[in-house]
Amino acid sequence: MKYLVIGSGGREHAIAWRLINDGSASEVFVAPGNGGIHPSYRVAIQPDDFNGLYKFCIDKKIDMVIVGPEVPLVNGIADFFHEKKIPCFGPSQKAAMIEGSKLFAKHIMEKYNVPTAGHWDFTGTIQINDFVKKQKSFPLVIKLDGLAAGKGVIVAQNRDEALEFIDENVKPDSKVFAEEFLDGEEASVLGISDGFTVLPLIAAQDHKRVFDGDKGPNTGGMGAYAPAPVVTPERLKYIKEKVLQPVIDGMRKDGIPFKGILYAGVMIGKDWIKVLEFNARFGDPETQVILPLLDVKLGDLLDAAVNEKLSSFDLRFKKSHAITVVVAAGGYPGSYAKGKMISGLEKISEPVIVFHAGTDTVSGNTVTNGGRVLNVTSTGSNLMEARNHVYACIGNIAFEGSFFRQDIGYRALTGQN
C-alpha cells in the first residue's frame, strides 16, 4: 500500500512512522511534511491545494489519503477525494463541522443527550460583555465558535480576565459562547468510526498549559501520555455508550455519517463525565502516544473504517505505557523565531523516538519552523519507565530558546487523577 499523509506536524510524522514500521505500507509520502521526513518522501504541496494533491496521487498511484489537520477536513478534502474515487481517511465537510463549529457540536450533544456543560450563546462583543459584567460566579469558560488551533478558549478566573479575552479575540460578528466551568480531570478519548461502529482507542491525557504545574496560557499541547489512569475500563465503556456511539448514530440519522476519528475531550468528576469538545481528527500530541501502543497494523484499522468493516475488527493495544514531551521554541505560544539550528538529535537512541513537528531542513541541517518543534517520545512497561527514558535524553537536544515542561505525566504518577 502507498499512502499520502496530509499535514506537517508531529501527528503526521507519527502516522507515517507507524505505517512504515508496522508493515502497513511500502511507501508513505507526507504533504508538506517536515524536517523529520526523508526528503524523497516530502511533498511540496500545501493541504489546501486539492488539485495538486490529486495529481500527485494519480502520479504515484496512492492507495489511500490520510488527513491529519482539521482545516482541510472542514474545507472538504475528504469529499473531494471521494468524488475522485481515491480512498480518504477523514470525515466529510459536513461531519467535520463537529470540530469546525463548537456550537454545532453543542447542538448535536443536546439533541442526542450527550452529557456536556451548560452554555449561553452570543454574537459579537456587546452581548457577551454584558453577560460577563453581570456574572458573580467564576471561573467562567469562554469559547470562540470556529477553529482556533486549540487557543480559542479561556478559563477566566475573574471578570477582568474574561473581558480582556473578549476584547482581544471577539469581533463584532463573532459567534461566541460562555460555558459553565467543570472542575475535574480532563482526558482525551479518540474513537475510530466507519459511520456505524465506533471503537475507542486507548485513552490519553495531554498537558495544555505551557509551564510546569499546568501554569500559563493554553497551547496546542506540551506533552501527553497513555493510557490515562483516570479513564478506567468502566469509564471508557460509559464514554463509548453515552458519548461516542450516540453521536455516530445521531449524525448518521441526520444524513451526515461520520467516518474517521471522533475525538472526545472529556472532563471527569468523581461521579460524572461530561464532554468539553469534539475534534474530527487524530489529536496532537495524543497520536504520538497512542500509535506506539497500537497492537494491530494501522493500515488495516484505517482500511476497516473507510470500508465500513469495523464491526468485525479486533482492535488491540499493547500492555505498555507511552509518553511524549514537547520541545518548544522560546516565546511559544506567543511570538517565536524560526530557523534556529537544532543539535543533539543524533544522540537519541531506542526506545526513545523523536517525532518532528515544527522543523524544516535547510542545507542539510534541521532547523526550527514552528512553536512546538519536537515530540520526544518513549514507551515503557510503566509510565515512570517511559518518562525516565525521555527525560534522560531530552537535554541532549538543543536550539536557541528551546524549553520543555519537566513534569509531563505528573498527575498519573502522583495519583492526582
Q: What is the block-wise mean pLDDT of the chain (417 residues), using blocks of 10 residues?
A: 98 98 98 97 98 98 98 98 98 97 92 93 90 91 78 87 91 88 94 98 96 92 97 98 98 98 96 95 97 98 98 98 98 97 96 98 96 98 97 97 97 77
Beta carbons within 8 Å of 46's beta carbon, 6+ residues apart? 31, 32, 52
d(CA 92, CA 382): 38
Going from N- to C-terminal start, the domains of the chain cover: 2-93, 118-179, 185-312, 321-413
pLDDT for position 24: 98
d(CA 271, CA 281): 28
Please answer whether residues 299 and 345 qualify as being in contact, where contact means their C-beta atoms are separated by less than 8 angstroms.
Answer: no
pLDDT for position 145: 86
pLDDT for position 149: 61
CATH class of 185-312: alpha beta
Q: 118-179: which CATH topology?
A: Dna Ligase; domain 1 (3.30.1490)
Q: What is the pTM of this model?
A: 0.93
Q: Given strand 88-89, what is the order of strands in its sheet?
A: 27-32, 2-7, 64-67, 88-89
pLDDT for position 153: 85
d(CA 81, CA 161): 44
Over residues 74-119, the pLDDT tens digits come to 999 999 999 999 999 999 999 999 999 988 999 999 999 999 998 8
Please answer whether residues 218 and 209 qualify as being in contact, where contact means their C-beta atoms are separated by less than 8 angstroms.
Answer: yes
Q: What CATH number has the domain spanning 2-93?
A: 3.40.50.20
Please answer whether residues 178 and 122 qualify as being in contact, where contact means their C-beta atoms are separated by less than 8 angstroms.
Answer: yes
* Residues forming a β-bridge with 25: none
For 364-387, letters b (16+ CB in 10 Å) and e give eebbbbbbbbbbbbbbbeebeebb
Please answer whether residues 45 and 56 qualify as being in contact, where contact means their C-beta atoms are separated by less than 8 angstroms.
Answer: yes
| Coil, helix or strand at residue 197 | coil
118-179 and 321-413 agree in CATH topology: no
∠ Cα 166 286 40 (to 5°): 110
Q: 321-413: which CATH topology?
A: Glycinamide Ribonucleotide Synthetase; Chain A, domain 4 (3.90.600)
d(CA 323, CA 412): 11
Q: How many CB atoms lie within 10 A of CB 168?
A: 8
